[in-house]
Amino acid sequence: MRKTACCLIAAFLVSCTGIKERLAIKECIFSLISVTPYEFTFNSLKLDFELKVDNPNSIDAVLDKLVYTFYANETDLFSGTTGRGIKIPAGKSKKLVTTMTLQYNKIGEALIEAIRLGKAEYKITARAFTTTVIGEISYPVEISLQ
């Protein structure tokens, strides 16, 4: 009986730590480091986006996936998701790379809008997802363009 109680308490403490790590992603700071185009075709090109995640927390943070959309003058150019989860150590940064395919017709729409407005403004909206024992939780994320 006593052994079972100790095991249950240990499991509870481990699960609390796991939940704290997963909730810590809410305080992380996301930034776009670089964009590398390659594999040009007649209809599209592929882009590798390198993102940096800074973890200001005193505990590790876990990101299971990031779903994002890139806009130019409010025109949705493309959306994507990271394919794998990462763990960002406490007080450290971690980089992740995700690949997108950009259709040329979307670039045309954004270019026409930029000419019409006389300016080009870019932004990325995103949601960070983490999975817990109570289900999947997501948070809005602001990704700064450096």
CA distances, 8 to each of 17, 134, 135 (Å): 14, 18, 21
Q: What is the pLDDT of residues 54-77, one digit of tens each?
A: 999 888 888 888 888 888 888 888
Q: Is the confidence at residue 14, as pLDDT, over 50?
A: no
Q: Which of 57, 95, 102, 61 lies closest to 80 in space, CA to CA? A: 102
CATH class for the region spanning 2-145: mainly beta
The pLDDT of residue 95: 92
Dihedrals phi, psi of 138, to nearest 5 degrees: -130, 150
Structure-model confidence comparison of residues 122 and 36, the more confident one? 36
The pLDDT of residue 85: 84
Dihedrals phi, psi of 91, to nearest 5 degrees: 70, 10
Q: What is the pLDDT of residues 106-127, one digit of tens each?
A: 777 777 877 888 877 788 888 9
Q: Who's near 16: CB < 8 A, 6+ residues apart?
A: none
pTM: 0.71
Do 97 and 84 form a contact (C-beta atoms < 8 A)? no
CA distances, 80 to each of 17, 29, 68 (Å): 30, 19, 6
Domain boundaries, the chain: 2-145
| CA separation for the pair 44, 22 (Å, rounded) | 36
The pLDDT of residue 12: 42
